[in-house]
C-alpha cells in the first residue's frame, strides 16, 4: 500500500469562492445590462431578447488530476455555449484562479457579439478551469487538459463548438486537446480547436493575431482623430500574449510605449521603452514574466499606477474589471482600447463616456484572434494552408472594415463606440434568428 500523501494547497485552492464569484457576477451583470440597453435601440423582439439573455448550454465538470507528488486534486471546469444562431460556437479555454460560472457565461456572450461584429460565421462559447497554472508543472497541466477534454468532448466538435487558447493556455494546450480527441475518435481531428502549432495545422500568425488586431484598431482610431502615430504615448497593462504583441506592433508603427506591466508589476519610462528588449527578456524567463527585469532609465510601477498614467492611449490587456468605480477617477488617458475582455466595468464606462474618453470596446478591439481562428478552421476543413502574408492581409482587411462599420454607426446614431458595436452585433444575430425561425416576431 502506498504511503498516504497529505493534501497540499496548490492550483485548485488558489482563491476563495467569494473572490471568483463576485468578479464573474460583475461581468455577467454588465453584459445583461448592455443587452437591456441595446434592445430598445434596435427594436429587438421580446422573444429574441429573452433567448439571448441566457446561454444555450452550460456544462460544469470536476476533473480529478494526480499531481506530481501523487496526491489527487479535483479542478472545476466549464464549457458554455451562448448562441449558435450564426454558426458553430467558438471561444477560448482559460486557466486561472478566478475562473467561475458567471465569468464564463459573460465571456461566451462576448464571443457571440465579437464574431458578429467582424462578420465571422460563428456563435459564441467559452471554457475554463479554475486552477493556478503558475504553480503547476507541465505534466500536471497536461493531465488536467486531457481530463478536461474528455469531459467536455460530448459538447465540442469541428462543426459544433471549436475551442481555442485564452488566458494561460497556448499552442501546446491545443495540441494536447487535438491528441486527446484524435486518440478517442480514431482519426486526426485537426478542426477540433484553433490556435494550434503551425506544424499541427495551425494558421501562420494566429498567435500574434489578437495583439495585431488591437494595433490595427488603434491605427484606425488615430486616423479618425487626425492624430499622428509617431510619438503617441501608450501604456499597456498586461504583457501576456495579447499585450506583448499589441505593444510590439505599436512600437514598430512608431508609437511611444512608455509603460508595460504584468502580474508582477511594471515599468515606466516617459521617453519610451525598448519593447524588443522587453520581449527578449521575457523569452528567457521560465514563466514569461517581467519580474527581475531592470530596463535602463525606467521606474518600477504597480498596475494601479500604470492605469493612472497621463498618456494618450491606455491598453488594458489583463483581466476583466480592471477599471472600476473605485479607480476610474484616477484614469487620465484620453483614449482606451480594450485588448482584454471586459476590462472596464459598466459603471466606470459611463463615467469615462461622460468625460468624453474615446473607448474602443473589446468585442471589436480584440477580435483579431477569432478572425484568424476562422481562417485556421477553414484550412483544416479543406486541407490547405494560406501563407502568413495572406493571413495578415485578410486580418487587416477585416479589422479595418469592422472598425469602419462601428465608427460610422456611432456617428450616425451619436452613440459611443461600445453602443454602436453592440447595436451592430446584436442586430446581426437577431437577423439570423428571424431567418431561421428561432423566434416569432411580434410585428
Q: What are the DSSP calls for 63-113, one per residue?
A: EEEE-TTS-EEEEEEEEEEEE-TTSSEEEEEEEETT--HHHHHHHHHHHHH
Task: Tell me: pLDDT of 391 over 90.
Answer: yes
Backbone phi, then psi, for 440, in 5-degree steps? -85, 135
pLDDT of residue 19: 38
* Contact indicator for 68, 141 with CB cutoff of 8 Å: no
Helix (H) or strand (E) holding 283: helix 275-284
* Contact indicator for 346, 418 with CB cutoff of 8 Å: no
Residue 319, C-alpha cell as written in the block: 483581466
Catalytic-residue membership of 126: yes
* Contact indicator for 240, 167 with CB cutoff of 8 Å: yes
The β-bridge partners of 237 are: 261, 316
Q: 133-153 pLDDT, tens per residue?
A: 999 999 999 999 999 999 999
Residue listed under C-alpha cell 484553433: 194
pLDDT of residue 23: 66
Q: 328-358 pLDDT, tens per residue?
A: 999 999 999 999 999 999 999 999 999 999 9
Q: 234-281 pLDDT, tens per residue?
A: 999 999 999 999 999 999 999 999 999 999 999 999 999 999 999 999
- Pairing between β-strand 335-337 and β-strand 358-360 as defined by DSSP bridges: parallel
Residue listed under C-alpha cell 512600437: 251
In terms of pTM, does the model score above 0.95? Answer: no
Describe the chain by its helix, strand, coil percentages, rounded to 5. Answer: 50, 15, 35
Please state the rounded mean pLDDT for residues 23-37.
91
- Catalytic member of 114, 126, 256, 428: 126
Q: 289-331 pLDDT, tens per residue?
A: 999 999 999 999 999 999 999 999 999 999 899 999 999 999 9
* Residue 22 binned pLDDT confidence (cut-offs 50, 70, 90): low
Nearest residue to 101 via CA among 25, 49, 155, 160: 25
pLDDT of residue 17: 38
The β-bridge partners of 93 are: 127, 165
* Residue 231 binned pLDDT confidence (cut-offs 50, 70, 90): confident
The β-bridge partners of 161 are: 89, 157
pLDDT of residue 247: 98
Residue listed under C-alpha cell 488536467: 144
Between CA 222 and CA 392 the distance in angstroms is 20
Between CA 138 and CA 170 the distance in angstroms is 12
DSSP letter (8 states) at residue 7: P
Residue 288, C-alpha cell as written in the block: 514569461
* Contact indicator for 317, 214 with CB cutoff of 8 Å: yes
Question: What is the Cα Rg of the chain in Å?
Answer: 21
Between CA 158 and CA 141 the distance in angstroms is 23
Q: What are the DSSP calls for 40-77, one per residue?
A: HHTT--HHHHHHHTS-SEEEEEEEEEE-TTS-EEEEEE
Residue 24: C-alpha distances to residues 17, 321, 425 (Å):
11, 9, 22
Nearest residue to 257 via CA among 337, 353, 361, 364: 337
pLDDT of residue 379: 96
Residue 291: C-alpha distances to residues 61, 232, 256, 288 (Å):
34, 26, 22, 9
Please state, as a whole number, how many other Cβ atoms lie within 10 Å of the Cβ of residue 406: 27
Amino acid at each position: 500500500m502506498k504511503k498516504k500523501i497529505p493534501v497540499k494547497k496548490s492550483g485548485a485552492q488558489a482563491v476563495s469562492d467569494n473572490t471568483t464569484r463576485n468578479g464573474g457576477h460583475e461581468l455577467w451583470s454588465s453584459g445583461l445590462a448592455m443587452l437591456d440597453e441595446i434592445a430598445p435601440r434596435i427594436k429587438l423582439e421580446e422573444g429574441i431578447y429573452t433567448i439571448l439573455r441566457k446561454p444555450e448550454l452550460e456544462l460544469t465538470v470536476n476533473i480529478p488530476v494526480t499531481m506530481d507528488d501523487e496526491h489527487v486534486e479535483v479542478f472545476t471546469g466549464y464549457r458554455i455555449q451562448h448562441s449558435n444562431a450564426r454558426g458553430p460556437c467558438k471561444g477560448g479555454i482559460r486557466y486561472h484562479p478566478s475562473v467561475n460560472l458567471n465569468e464564463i457565461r459573460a465571456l461566451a456572450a462576448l464571443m457571440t457579439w465579437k464574431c458578429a461584429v467582424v462578420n465571422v460565421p460563428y456563435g459564441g462559447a467559452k471554457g475554463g478551469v479554475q486552477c493556478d497554472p503558475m504553480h503547476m508543472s507541465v505534466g500536471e497541466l497536461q493531465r488536467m487538459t486531457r481530463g478536461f477534454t474528455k469531459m467536455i468532448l460530448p459538447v465540442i466538435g469541428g462543426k459544433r463548438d471549436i475551442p481555442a487558447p485564452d488566458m494561460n493556455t497556448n499552442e501546446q494546450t491545443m495540441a494536447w486537446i487535438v491528441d486527446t480527441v484524435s486518440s478517442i475518435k480514431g482519426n486526426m481531428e485537426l478542426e477540433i480547436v484553433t490556435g494550434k502549432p503551425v506544424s499541427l495545422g495551425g494558421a501562420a500568425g494566429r498567435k500574434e493575431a489578437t495583439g495585431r488586431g488591437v494595433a490595427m484598431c488603434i491605427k484606425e482610431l488615430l486616423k479618425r482623430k487626425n492624430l499622428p502615430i509617431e510619438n503617441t504615448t501608450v501604456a499597456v497593462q498586461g504583457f501576456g500574449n495579447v499585450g506583448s504583441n499589441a505593444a510590439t506592433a505599436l512600437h514598430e508603427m512608431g508609437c511611444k510605449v512608455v509603460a508595460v506591466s504584468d502580474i508582477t508589476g511594471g515599468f515606466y519610462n516617459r521617453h519610451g521603452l525598448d519593447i524588443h528588449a522587453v520581449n527578449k527578456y521575457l523569452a528567457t524567463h521560465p514563466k514569461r514574466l517581467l519580474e527581475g527585469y531592470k530596463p535602463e532609465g525606467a521606474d518600477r510601477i504597480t498596475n494601479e499606477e500604470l492605469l493612472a498614467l497621463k498618456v494618450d492611449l491606455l491598453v488594458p490587456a489583463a483581466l476583466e474589471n480592471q477599471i472600476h468605480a473605485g479607480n476610474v477617477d484616477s484614469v487620465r488617458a484620453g483614449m482606451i482600447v480594450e485588448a482584454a475582455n471586459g476590462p472596464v466595468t459598466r459603471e466606470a464606462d459611463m463615467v469615462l463616456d461622460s468625460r468624453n474618453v474615446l473607448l474602443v470596446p473589446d468585442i471589436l478591439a480584440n477580435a483579431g484572434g477569432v478572425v484568424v481562428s476562422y481562417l485556421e478552421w477553414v484550412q483544416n476543413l479543406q486541407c490547405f494552408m494560406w501563407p502568413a502574408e495572406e493571413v495578415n492581409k485578410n486580418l487587416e482587411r477585416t479589422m479595418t472594415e469592422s472598425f469602419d462599420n462601428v465608427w460610422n454607426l456611432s456617428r450616425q446614431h451619436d452613440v459611443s463606440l461600445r453602443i454602436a458595436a453592440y447595436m451592430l452585433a446584436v442586430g446581426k444575430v437577431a437577423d439570423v434568428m428571424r431567418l431561421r425561425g428561432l423566434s416569432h416576431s411580434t410585428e
